[in-house]
């Protein structure tokens, strides 16, 4: 299941994003979206969980949680992208 995590702290890196999600299952891929000019995080990223139930658990546990000073949003990524 592919997830999108929104409103992440701007100082997040891909390793931090993976650490956040690995508690809930195996991660197939993890991509933090970066600003092309500055190389800094745009505040969102994608995580692909190995199993659907792991993705559902990650959404349940992480959506609305605080990471740093940010209340993050986690949902299933649009499959049409």
In the predicted structure, residue 80 carries a pLDDT above the cut 80: no
pTM across the whole model: 0.91
Inter-residue contact 14 to 62 (CB < 8 Å):
no
* pLDDT of amino acid 78: 83
CATH 2.30.180.10 at 2-76, yes or no: no
Q: What's the count of helices (H) and strands (E) in the chain, helices before strands? A: 2, 6
* pLDDT of amino acid 81: 46
Provide the token pair at 73. Answer: 């949003």
What ranges do the domains of the chain cover?
A: 2-76
pLDDT digits (tens, 9 = 90+) for 1-54: 999 999 999 999 999 999 999 999 999 999 999 999 998 899 999 999 999 999
């Amino acid at each position: 299941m592919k997830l999108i995590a929104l409103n992440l702290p701007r100082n997040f890196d891909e390793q931090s994003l993976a650490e956040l999600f690995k508690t809930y299952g195996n991660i197939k891929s993890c991509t933090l979206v970066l600003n092309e000019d500055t190389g800094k995080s745009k505040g969102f990223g994608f995580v692909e969980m190995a199993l659907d139930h792991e993705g559902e658990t990650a959404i349940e546990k992480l959506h609305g949680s605080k990471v740093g000073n940010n209340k993050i949003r986690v949902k299933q990524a649009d499959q049409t992208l």
